[in-house]
Amino acid sequence: MRYSISQVATISGVSARTLRHYDEIGLLAPQEVSANGYRWYGRSQLRVLQRILLLRDLDVSLPQIKAILAGEDDEAAALRRHLRLVTAERDRLDAIAGTIRRTLDDLEGRRSLPDGEFFRGLQERRAQLAATLRKRFGTAVDTALPAHDPWPSSWTRDDYHEAESEARDLYSQLSRARRADLDPTSSAALDIVAAHYEAVRATWPASPEAYHALADLIESDPAQRVVVGGDDPDLPAWLAAGVRAYAVRRLGHRP
């Protein structure tokens, strides 16, 4: 069965204008274009559109989606990867919702929230990142992970907010460089990426090899994409390119 562009727009909730744009940028071509210029889509195009929309829901940029789809030959494997991304994002949002509920209980007087409890969400995110690193790079990564908690138990909420503010400022600086069309592999960009490297080293003594590998997580791990690209969805890909270049040119890593 084939579907007109208006029918696809109706069943998918995507405008015909967006579908035409996807065709123009080589992201989703119709099955055929009739002599009068009408676009027609088949079932396989609907499945591709579903994957595009799943990735857009995860704030993946169109250029990244195009690269992902170009490298996918096994449709079932691609959907399994999407399922893992969606499941990880659901778990991350559940954890954030739990932290918000506990904080609201504290603010509204239903339950006092000790400072140690306030940091639980942060500790859970660090544990999740460590688990992801081990899954990607094996138990050898344990030697690179800090043996102690880099956030001292004496920290107050103000200390945490200050660190969080510094991280936001760093990503804002990186985002401004990206929006200015600065090549992420240029010397000027690597001078900015150096601040990211130092921030990573403050809590994780990453080797040049590990820092280079971190670029993959920045691009593909849902939690890392949200941290890096919360205000700029195109920043993860830009920063990942900069991280790889920094590891090679400034740290001497040889892929």
Residue 77 lies in a domain: no
Domain boundary residue, one of 70, 99, 117: 70
**Domain range enclosing 33:** 3-70
Confidence category of residue 129, pLDDT binned at 50, 70, 90 = low
The confidence score (pLDDT) of residue 144 equals 47
Q: Are residues 153 and 236 both part of a single domain?
A: yes
Residue 192 lies in a domain: yes
Flag whether pLDDT at 167 surpasses 90: no
Residue 121 lies in a domain: no
Residue 75 lies in a domain: no
Whole-prediction pTM value?
0.50
Confidence category of residue 147, pLDDT binned at 50, 70, 90 = very low
How many domains is the chain partitioned into structurally?
Answer: 2
Residue 155 lies in a domain: yes
Residue 87 lies in a domain: no
Cβ–Cβ < 8 Å for 146, 205 = yes
Domain boundary residue, one of 17, 43, 70: 70
Which stretches of 27-119 are DSSP H helices? 43-57, 62-70, 75-107, 115-118
Question: How far, in Å, CA of 244 to CA of 247, rounded?
Answer: 5
Please report, for the domain that includes residue 200, its CATH number: 1.10.490
One-letter amino acid identity for 229? G
Mean pLDDT, residues 69-79 taken together: 68
Domain boundary residue, one of 70, 96, 114: 70
Please report, for the domain that includes residue 39, its CATH number: 1.10.1660.10
The overall average pLDDT reported for the chain is 79
pLDDT digits (tens, 9 = 90+) for 45-65: 998 898 888 778 766 778 878
Residue 123 lies in a domain: no
Q: How many CB atoms lie within 10 A of CB 56?
A: 14
Mean pLDDT, residues 183-191 taken together: 95
Question: How far, in Å, CA of 87 to CA of 93, rounded?
Answer: 10
Residue 176 lies in a domain: yes
Percentage with pLDDT > 90 across the chain: 33
